[in-house]
């Protein structure tokens, strides 16, 4: 479990294909604190550490993950938002994030507002996911608050700290981001709509 509060940025230094899987080698200040089998959120995707050496470590994404997230679009030198799993005795600064991406969204506009930034996103509503005004959303692993919620999109505001210390400063119009919708909202929607198709 994660909270959507990014701890560090990782830089992809190598990508290896193994069948339909991709193994990513990342360089990060977190590497020295990681251990094999540990879960780490990469742009909001929970992946298992498979090797650690010096300031670098490896994770593997399977085909299903590559199809449903933006990890398959990553290249060497791209930056990735990183968060280690939540400590049981830590503060819950963001919201409940599982690291299970529901779908991707496309950035449709970016507007600078004298020190903060407004980002608009569109997603495919046919998958049944929803946002609510002032509700939580996880974008590329970052816990944010939704506003201007519509059936196929929403807006978020990014403060300077988040803009500087996540990969939001690399995001451009047309780029895709990973979305994890609020787990509480997903359960409530499922209960109200029933379990039949």
User: Who contacts 102 (Cβ-Cβ below 8 Å, separation ≥6)?
Assistant: 127, 129, 179, 180, 181, 186
User: Who contacts 55 (Cβ-Cβ below 8 Å, separation ≥6)?
Assistant: 27, 28, 29, 31, 32
Q: What is the pTM of this model?
A: 0.89
The phi and psi torsions of 5 (rounded to 5 degrees) equal -105, 110
Sheet with 103-113: list strands edge to edge. 142-145, 136-139, 176-181, 103-113, 116-122, 153-158, 147-150
- Average pLDDT, stretch 171-186? 92
Question: What tokens does 193 get?
Answer: 């709509």
Residue 189's pLDDT band, with cuts at 50, 70 and 90, is: confident
Q: Which of 173, 167, 176, 80 minimizes the C-alpha distance to 124?
A: 176
Residue 15's pLDDT band, with cuts at 50, 70 and 90, is: very high
Which class is domain 8-84?
Answer: mainly beta
What SS3 class is residue 193?
helix
* Tens digit of each residue's pLDDT (9 = 90 or more) over 86-115: 877 777 677 888 899 999 999 999 999 988
Residue pair 50/58 in contact (Cβ under 8 Å)? The answer is yes
Work out the mean pLDDT of the chain and round it to a whole number: 93
| Vertex 30 angle, CA 167 and 181, to 5° | 45
- Average pLDDT, stretch 30-36? 96
Residue 116's pLDDT band, with cuts at 50, 70 and 90, is: very high
pLDDT at 197 (0 to 100): 53
pLDDT at 195 (0 to 100): 64
Parallel/antiparallel/unpaired status of strands 79-84 and 176-181: unpaired
Share of the chain above pLDDT 90, in %: 79
Where along the chain do the CATH 2.40.30.20 domains lie? 8-84, 103-193
Cα–Cα distance for residue pair 39/155, rounded to 1 Å: 29
- Average pLDDT, stretch 131-145? 94
For the ranges 7-16, 163-172, 179-188, which has the lowest average pLDDT? 179-188
CATH value of 103-193 in 2.60.40.10, 2.40.30.20, 3.30.565.10, 3.40.630.30: 2.40.30.20
């Amino acid at each position: 479990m994660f909270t959507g509060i990014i701890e560090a940025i990782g830089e992809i230094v190598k990508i290896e294909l193994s069948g339909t899987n991709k193994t990513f080698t990342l360089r990060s200040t977190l590497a020295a604190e990681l251990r094999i089998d540990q879960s780490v959120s990469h742009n909001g995707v929970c992946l298992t550490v498979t090797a650690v050496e010096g300031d670098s470590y490896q994770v593997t994404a399977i085909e299903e993950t590559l199809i449903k997230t933006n990890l398959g679009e990553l290249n060497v030198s791209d930056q990735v938002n990183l968060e280690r799993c939540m400590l049981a005795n830590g503060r819950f600064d963001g919201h409940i994030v599982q690291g299970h991406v529901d779908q991707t969204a496309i950035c449709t506009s970016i507007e600078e507002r004298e020190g903060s930034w407004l980002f608009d996103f569109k997603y495919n509503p046919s998958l049944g996911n929803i946002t609510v005004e002032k509700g939580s959303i996880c974008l590329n692993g970052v816990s944010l608050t939704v506003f201007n919620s519509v059936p196929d999109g929403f807006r978020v505001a990014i403060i300077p700290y988040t803009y500087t210390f996540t990969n939001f400063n690399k995001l451009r119009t047309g780029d895709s981001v990973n979305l994890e919708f609020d787990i509480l909202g997903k359960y409530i929607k499922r209960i109200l709509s029933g379990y039949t198709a």
